Amino acid sequence: MVELVSKNYARALFDLAVEEERVDETGEEIKAIVSILKSEKSFYEFFVTPLVSKQEKKDLVEKAFGGRVSGISENFLKVLIENGRTGVVEAVSSFYQKLRLEHFNMVEATAFTVIPMTDIQKQKLVEKLEKETGKKVIFKNEINQDLLGGMLIKIGEKEIDGTVLNRLRNLEAAISK
């Protein structure tokens, strides 16, 4: 249920942002708002609790974000408040980001490695992923010492596991059969 509600709100916000030609700006603002809410626990609790009146929440949104974010983002928060859906703001942001990537024919990819990749390795991997997906790849390399070696690539919802740790797990499973 929460997922469906979040997707509907994200779609409505996204459609408005497209109409206003503010897809990127709105995406960045919503991401920043969620980051602020998550980092300020008392602010988040105030924002989501049903014990605080809708008007008090709207006043807080105006104080915290008025003039700092677009009218689209501020009004979006007020709609969530009015409809008692403040608890889905993080999920809405997540779905919005997916819609944004689709809109611009992009995909996020993360390569997890034991040591940092060189610029040439990154460039070659990005080129290969772009060729395979037909999309522009937004790439990052994260370090994970637990992998032992190799590489784990997460691209969109897909995962390509070429790590030593995965090979050891597969070997262990084969031996235990």
Per-residue pLDDT of the chain (177 residues; tens, 9 = 90+): 778 899 999 999 999 999 999 999 999 999 999 999 989 888 899 989 989 999 999 998 999 888 899 999 999 999 999 999 999 999 999 999 999 999 999 999 999 999 999 999 999 999 999 999 999 999 999 999 888 888 999 998 899 998 888 888 888 888 887
- Claim to verify: residue 66 and residue 140 sit in the same structural domain: no
The residue type found at 98 is: K
- Claim to verify: residue 163 and residue 134 sit in the same structural domain: yes
Q: Indicate the residue among 75, 102, 129 that finishes a domain.
A: 102
Count structural domains, the chain: 2
- Claim to verify: residue 7 and residue 39 sit in the same structural domain: yes
- Claim to verify: residue 127 and residue 164 sit in the same structural domain: yes
- Claim to verify: residue 14 and residue 97 sit in the same structural domain: yes
- Claim to verify: residue 41 and residue 85 sit in the same structural domain: yes
- Claim to verify: residue 8 and residue 81 sit in the same structural domain: yes
- Claim to verify: residue 94 and residue 17 sit in the same structural domain: yes
The residue type found at 84 is: G
C-alpha 89/C-alpha 33 separation (Å) is 9
C-alpha 108/C-alpha 135 separation (Å) is 10
- pLDDT of 114: 93
CATH code of residue 18: 1.10.520.20
- Contacts (Cβ under 8 Å, ≥6 apart) of 22: 70, 72
- Claim to verify: residue 67 and residue 125 sit in the same structural domain: no
How many other C-beta atoms are found inside a 10 Å radius of the C-beta of residue 10? 23
Q: Indicate the residue among 73, 102, 131 that finishes a domain.
A: 102
44 contacts 38 by C-beta, under 8 angstroms: yes
- Claim to verify: residue 36 and residue 89 sit in the same structural domain: yes
With vertex at residue 10, the alpha carbon angle to CA 7 and CA 12, rounded to the nearest 5 degrees, is: 110
- pLDDT of 157: 85
N-terminal to C-terminal alpha carbon distance within the chain: 40
Question: Shortest CA distance to 101 belongs to which of 69, 133, 68?
Answer: 133
- pLDDT of 17: 96
Provide the domain limits for residue 6. 2-102
Q: Indicate the residue among 102, 133, 160 that finishes a domain.
A: 102
pTM (2 d.p.)? 0.80
With vertex at residue 29, the alpha carbon angle to CA 31 and CA 20, rounded to the nearest 5 degrees, is: 125
- Claim to verify: residue 119 and residue 97 sit in the same structural domain: no
- Claim to verify: residue 156 and residue 144 sit in the same structural domain: yes
**Would strands 150-155 and 106-113 be described as parallel, antiparallel, or unpaired?**
antiparallel
